[in-house]
């Protein structure tokens, strides 16, 4: 198992060996019924920053390794509405768009502006 906390360390981890890779967030939606025959890559990309503020909205960038509920609490502490219905959902921010988390009539897609991705297969990013 290898942890990564930025794109460079993810790229290094991907080149570590030729084994199959599993990206792990918080592990709350994964049950291992046997040993994983490959390398588990644990996402620890952190950070919360404001990208843009307008009269009616704030665009916030959050690292995929941040705990989702902690992010919700942070937004609430800043008086930013939108994510509060999604509080207490276990897992990481990076996993949230993978299944489009939802609760109490709100889905992540309703408030998600964009996702920065890096393909472990093509080795290309949509951010470059
Ligand atoms: C008690 C409980 C209550 C829950 N309640 C809700 C709910 O109300 N609403 C709801 O929508 N969900 C709910 N869930 C589901 C769960 O919270 C989500 O599946 C969560 O988003 C998983 O996050 P994780 O970081 O633990 O992902 P993991 O379990 O680590 O991974 C889940 C999947 O996403 C992939 N993945 C993870 N991170 C990334 C990444 N950065 N990039 C690419 N792929 C990635 C993994 O490879 C894996 O396939 C609940 C789960 C539990 C256990």
Domain(s) of CATH 3.30.465.10: residues in the chain: 48-110
Q: Which pTM was predicted?
A: 0.95
98 φ/ψ angles, rounded to the nearest 5 degrees: -60, -40
Determine the Cα angle at 82 with ends 127 and 25, to 5°. 50
Question: 3-state class of 69 per DSSP?
Answer: helix
Residue 64 Cβ < 6 Å to ligand 1: yes
- The CA 18 to ligand 1 mean position distance, Å, reads 26
**Sorting pLDDT into bands at 50, 70 and 90, what band is 48?**
very high
Residue 120 has pLDDT above 80, yes or no: yes
pLDDT tens-digit readout, 50-76: 999 999 999 999 999 999 999 999 999
Enumerate the β-bridge partners of residue 92: 67
Residue 96 Cβ < 6 Å to ligand 1: yes
Q: What pLDDT, on a 0 to 100 scale, did the predictor assign at position 44?
A: 97
Strand 58-62 to 48-53 pairing: antiparallel
Could you tell me the fold of the domain covering 48-110? Answer: 3.30.465
pLDDT tens-digit readout, 16-42: 877 889 999 999 999 999 999 999 999
Q: How far is CA 127 from CA 1, 80, 101, 116, 117, in A?
A: 26, 26, 23, 6, 7
Q: What pLDDT, on a 0 to 100 scale, did the predictor assign at position 128?
A: 61
Residue 127 has pLDDT above 70, yes or no: yes
Instruction: Locate the DSSP E strands across 21-76.
Output: 21-24, 39-43, 48-53, 58-62
Domain(s) of CATH 3.30.43.10: residues in the chain: 2-43
Strand 39-43 to 2-4 pairing: parallel
**What is the average pLDDT value for the chain, to the nearest integer?**
95
- The CA 20 to ligand 1 mean position distance, Å, reads 20
CATH architecture label of 2-43: 2-Layer Sandwich (3.30)
């Amino acid at each position: 198992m290898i942890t990564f906390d930025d794109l460079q360390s993810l790229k290094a981890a991907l080149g570590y060996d030729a084994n199959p890779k599993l990206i792990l967030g918080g592990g709350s939606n994964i049950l291992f019924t046997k040993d994983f025959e490959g390398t588990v890559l644990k996402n620890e990309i952190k950070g919360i920053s404001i990208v843009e503020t307008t009269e009616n909205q704030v665009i916030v960038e959050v690292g995929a390794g941040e705990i989702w509920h902690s992010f919700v609490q942070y937004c609430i502490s800043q008086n930013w509405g939108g994510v509060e219905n999604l509080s207490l959902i276990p897992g990481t921010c990076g996993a949230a768009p993978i299944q489009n988390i939802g609760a109490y009539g709100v889905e992540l897609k309703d408030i998600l502006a964009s996702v920065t991705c890096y393909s472990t297969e093509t080795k290309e990013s949509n951010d470059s």
